[in-house]
Amino acid sequence: MLDVGAILQNRYLIIRKIGQGGMGAVYEAKDQRLGVIVALKETIVTGDSLQKAFEREARLLAKLRHPALPVVSDYFFETDVQYLVMQYIDGKDLGQLLLEKGVFSLVEVLAWAERLLDALDYLHNQQPPIIHRDIKPNNLKLTDRGEIILLDFGLAKGSTTVLQNTNNSVSVYGYTPHYAPIEQVEGTGTDARSDLYALAATLYHLLTGIKPADAMPRVLSVVNGQKDPLLPAHEVNPRIPISISNLLASTLSQKRDERPANALAMKVALQKAIKATNDPNVLTLLNPTLKLNAVQTSEHQPLGTEQLDSNSKLATQIKTDLAINQVVITNPQPLAQETQLATQASATVVKVKGKNSKLPFVLAIGSVIVLACVLLVGLFFWPSSTGQPISVVALDAFTASKEQNKPTLLSAKEVLSKGLDEPRYYEFIAEAGEIKLTLNVVSNGATVEITVFDEGLKPLSFRDNTSLSLAGVNYNNEQIENTLLNPKKQKILLKLSNNYPNNLRAYRLKLAGVIELASTKKDTSNNTILETLATEFKSRDNPTPLTNNEIINPGHEKDLYYSFMADPGEIKLSLNVISNGATVFVELFDSDSKSVKYTSGTTKLSLSATSYQNEKSNVTILNTSSQPFLMRISQVYPNNLRAYRLSLKGPIKLSKDAKKTSFASLLAEFKDRDSPTVLANSEILNR
């Protein structure tokens, strides 16, 4: 480790340490000969062969010239330490900005993607090809002019590899979990497609605010017959166009052959995906960068001069939404399509003015009226993408205090969050009596724990424990309820914590009781992150009333929830599955959100099939009282599920809002097993 003020090679004055890892560090230094600030990358090496390898690498890097890559200007050894001198890029990296400001706008990220793909195309076409092997948000910085730069701090932060020649390529950097493909994690060799995977993982994180699932757990999930924990980007953030989400999904494939063949191929695919959005704002703003033919501006002033200003405000709002502590959550609306209508109307006005500036004033007024009508129609009649609107006042735990002695005042009875690295604290005043807490968790192994303290900082006990904790599996929406008795009116301290934040997609805490909330200014602006978190709980909160004792469905990605009332007695469930490896799960929950046990002792009816055969399984429950039930149907590998049928028999009260639905095509799948041929002979001959 170098001390501040140290001078290397009688030239480089160490100013400060930028990053530290197991194999060295990166320093900000001053080149006293040229009078400029540089980045000095230190790597500990031993052995002549490794030193020679680094020397070859340094000479190769020094020849690189690309606007998205820092320039390597010098290279030297001191004892067993190798140093690279590179262009210094000031400012915060995208990983830091992501934590501070939240997700970036689609326009920004797609513009960066094109530039980075151009840089990767340049690297991969060197002789020999250069594989970066550590693309991630923390290795990306913005210059003062807003240009993206791909940095190389991976080794200095303790990567698992030093320098390898794989597939006749020079591997320049190490790797970081969540961004590295499985072939890199297993050490089976990397190529250009490995960098494309890392870039797609980085874009996914920048657009959703959530790190993509690590490659190894993804493989293990598949091996164990579970769903791939990697969610499509548009499900995490509904504002991401499906075409962009699909491109990210294909590039994040575990199989290299299913990814784009090279950076140029991915760049072409990106252009097609952008065109498929049909969003004039995106097309217009990216026109100078991607040179898309979809935007024609020859007849008038370039469309987007005004749109750029408004969209920049929108981008700023999106990125700063995480700083809003209290919001009113509403269902995400298809804003891009509404904006498209408004932009097209504005474009019509621009074109008309460009062709004849002396047209009657009434025409301009008419255009304004048309635009207003479009906006009003969109406001009152635009269909909701998810049905009923969510109108819950909630807090974002991300912005709550991390200090126990300086808690944030609770101003709403609902708190939403994704996985956080540190606990958060809230404070409120509660009257004497019961306080009910309901916790929902959507995770894959992560646990959320809620601890409540009295004014003397002693834990208040729940009915059966000192804290409320809940873990999730396969990103199902799990729920638990519990109450505690507050003996007197006093200040209450609430602690929210979790482990494995990268495996925690969302959690929600609801409080019920006589609680005094802090008065804060209500901010009704939409919050992208909170809207996304809220949608994770919508299906369970609003289950479909059971209108028939038979449910027939093809494979579906999302879990389905049904509600029904049942009188005391035996309830029998029969499940048929026709699949090729897919598994269907059926679970029941009582009015206290507790899992209901079947007579077999299990809480989950699961059934899979192979070769699309019709498999069947039966279970029963003994219901001892009249009560409501919640039923969840989930599955893995829905694409391999042709159909399933669930039949319920017993004292079940069906909803009277029955809707006639035709399942004729799916019913045919079960006909042969339902109506078997009567055996008329002890011998069966077939050809």
* Rounded-to-integer distance, Cα 61 and Cα 74, Å: 10
Residue 648, judged by CB atoms within 10 A of its CB (0-12, 13-18, 19+), counts as buried
* Other beta carbons less than 10 A from residue 316's beta carbon: 12
Distance CA 209, CA 207 (A): 6
How far is residue 478's CA from residue 59's CA, in Å, rounded to a whole number? 55
Distance CA 476, CA 561 (A): 11
Of the candidates 298, 255, 213, 222, the residue with the CA atom closest to the CA atom of residue 500: 213
CA–CA separation, 92 and 122 (whole Å): 25
CA atoms of 599 and 604, how far apart (whole Å): 11
CA distance 549 to 634: 18
- 134 catalytic per annotation: yes
Question: Nearest Cα to 507, choosing from 444, 550, 463?
Answer: 444
What is the token pair recorded at 227? 């769903």
User: How far is Cα 332 from Cα 339, in angstroms, rounded to an integer?
Assistant: 14
> Between the CA of residue 466 and those of 323, 407, 415, 431, 612, what are the distances in Å?
32, 20, 20, 20, 48
Strands 140-142 and 148-150: antiparallel
Residue identified by tokens 């992208």 is 528
- Contact between 601 and 540 under an 8 Å Cβ cutoff? The reply is no
DSSP readout, 571-584?
EEEEEEEEESS-EE
Q: Where are the alpha helices (DSSP H) in 187-304?
A: 192-208, 215-223, 233-236, 242-251, 263-277, 280-290
- Which of 134, 152, 195, 279 does the annotation list as catalytic? 134
Active site residues: 134
